Amino acid sequence: MFRKKRKVQGDETILSLARIVGDDYILYRKEDLIAYECDGLTLYKGMPKAVVFPKTTEEVSQIVNYLSNCNIPFIARGAGTGLSGGAIPFGGEVIISLVRMKKLLRIDYENRQAVIQPGFVNLKLTNSIAHKGYYYAPDPSSQYACTIGGNVAENAGGAHCLKYGVTTNHVLGLEVVLPNGDIVEIGEEGIADRPGYDLLGLLTGSEGTMGIVTKITVRILKNPEGKKTVLAYFDRIEDASYAVSDIISVGIVPAALEMMDKTAIEGVEAANFPVGHPKDLAALLLIEVDGITVGIEDEINEIVEVCRRRNVREVKVAKDEAERAKWWANRKTGFGAMGAISPDYLVQDGVIPRTKLPEVLAKINDISKKSGLRIANIFHAGDGNLHPLILFDAKKEGETERALAAGSECLRACAESGGSITGEHGVGIEKKEEMRFIFTDDEIEAQTNIRSVFNPHNLLNPGKIFPSPSRCAEIKQEIITNREPVIN
Ligand SMILES: Cc1cc2nc3c(=O)[nH]c(=O)nc-3n(C[C@H](O)[C@H](O)[C@H](O)COP(=O)(O)OP(=O)(O)OC[C@H]3O[C@@H](n4cnc5c(N)ncnc54)[C@H](O)[C@@H]3O)c2cc1C
């Protein structure tokens, strides 16, 4: 990754940053920076000034202190899997990559906590504690790559967050470098609640605009005694949607309750982890229950009964762990699988009240017809977190713009149903304008005022989350067309 034993040559900023991290841990040549022009949202691109790779909190603090004194904007970056463009520069920012800060610092089984550095990859935490019968609950589908620092910034969710909660429900303490370089501790190990404002809750999900997380204490959970996984095939998407609400309303909270529609099934079956779903299905549900073994059987029977009442074509229980893992691999690689049926795709992320599923899915279908673009739906149905995947071909004139407009329409449909414009991927660059679907100008201003308490000069990740009056849409357009944007 890094060129060994090289001598950095650059302007005063590059030389100063190199003095902090060492010559081998800074990238500043254009050819090296290209990989950092975007994150998982590849529609927008901007060239950073440099990327630095600190090893310690003190180095992060020195970098931040130097940059803020020079009035140079900067962005924290984990694995760069974000889907709303949170780690994308507009041009000229310094990216502070946390990937070298990837140690598991401490595991405390007695208090059920782990302390990790921000660059620690999500799945590695569960892998590191599995031999003791423990796991880390938030499981984004990108968990094999994304970092826990990035998860904290985005308040990441995952398939099993329906029952166990999203990242914010598992963060117990943070060490944070503030935008002036100060190092602060938030939260207290071992103490579940403390007086005063919930700063942990505020920082978690702040999309890297309030501070750079350099150490995290998270809750770890004991593996459930047992788990069972059900696959239910439906001929009508409405039946699958009603079954979702019915399952919850009979009093079951499954560990996971996921849905895929016909187009999504076509994609996952054409990609690397097919399981042999029938090609003519309208929708499928992947449902997992866990807990005490005796209770699981009853819940499974009840779920099967609910699905039958909703005209399920076939419902089956995974016969062993291998089959369960196969079903999950098929689901968790679902976004990437769209590459098997479309040259490009845009992942959207909205939330709706669960009971509005049939209505909103019908609206998304209308948006698909109107835009002339196919839309696949793979999502966390149990918590109403939709992921419409808009399939398009960027090489075809006007399709990118149509895909973006269709994505925005999907979010409008979510907002109009009483939901929200993001469930877990954040606002980033992508959904700034759509913030207006759910917040008034006053509410947006109140939130930027809160950001200013932590980030008074807006040097940390500027231009993200909040629309700036009338300029936001233009900036997005300038980035798509690779013109130099102006950041307000
Ligand atoms: C195939 C695929 C599937 C996905 N599935 C899910 C899913 O199921 N659930 C889900 O929630 N997300 C999902 N995502 C989105 C993404 O993986 C998550 O948002 C993840 O939390 C990002 O982590 P990262 O390390 O890649 O962060 P990055 O993309 O590097 O950064 C994301 C944001 O966090 C900030 N940031 C990063 N590190 C820090 C830090 N240490 N301190 C402060 N700010 C920081 C960045 O500035 C940026 O704003 C998926 C993405 C892909 C590509």
Domain boundaries, the chain: 12-97, 104-222, 225-337, 342-431, 435-480
Question: Which is the closest atom of ligand 1 to the Cα of 149?
Answer: 41
Residue 105 has pLDDT above 90, yes or no: yes
Query: Please, which pLDDT band fits residue 248 given cuts at 50, 70 and 90?
Result: very high
Query: Please, which pLDDT band fits residue 471 given cuts at 50, 70 and 90?
Result: very low
335 ligand 1 Cβ < 6 A: yes
Question: Which is the closest atom of ligand 1 to the Cα of 147?
Answer: 25
pLDDT digits (tens, 9 = 90+) for 13-22: 999 999 999 9
160 ligand 1 Cβ < 6 A: no
- HEC letters along 406-419: HHHHHHHHHHHCCC
Architecture of domain 12-97: 2-Layer Sandwich (3.30)
**CATH match of 225-337 with 3.30.70.2190:** yes
User: How far is the centre of ligand 1, averaged over its atoms, from the C-alpha of 237 (Å)?
Assistant: 30
216 ligand 1 Cβ < 6 A: no
What integer pLDDT is reported at residue 464 of this predicted model? Answer: 97
Q: Which fold has domain 104-222?
A: 3.30.465
Query: Please, which pLDDT band fits residue 427 given cuts at 50, 70 and 90?
Result: very high
Compute the average pLDDT of residues 29-56.
96
pLDDT digits (tens, 9 = 90+) for 283-325: 999 999 999 998 899 999 999 999 999 999 999 999 999 999 9
157 ligand 1 Cβ < 6 A: yes
Rounded to whole angstroms, how far apart are CA atoms 246 and 252?
9
User: How far is the centre of ligand 1, averaged over its atoms, from the C-alpha of 393 (Å)?
Assistant: 25
Q: Which of 10-24, 42-56, 193-207 has the lowest mean pLDDT?
A: 193-207
What integer pLDDT is reported at residue 478 of this predicted model? Answer: 53
Residue of 122, 146, 186 to mutate, ligand 1, most atoms within 8 A of C-beta:
146
Tell me if 12-97 shares its fold with 104-222.
Answer: no
Residue 386 has pLDDT above 70, yes or no: yes
> Which protein residue has the closest C-alpha to ligand 1 atom 21?
151
- Top-level class of domain 342-431: alpha beta
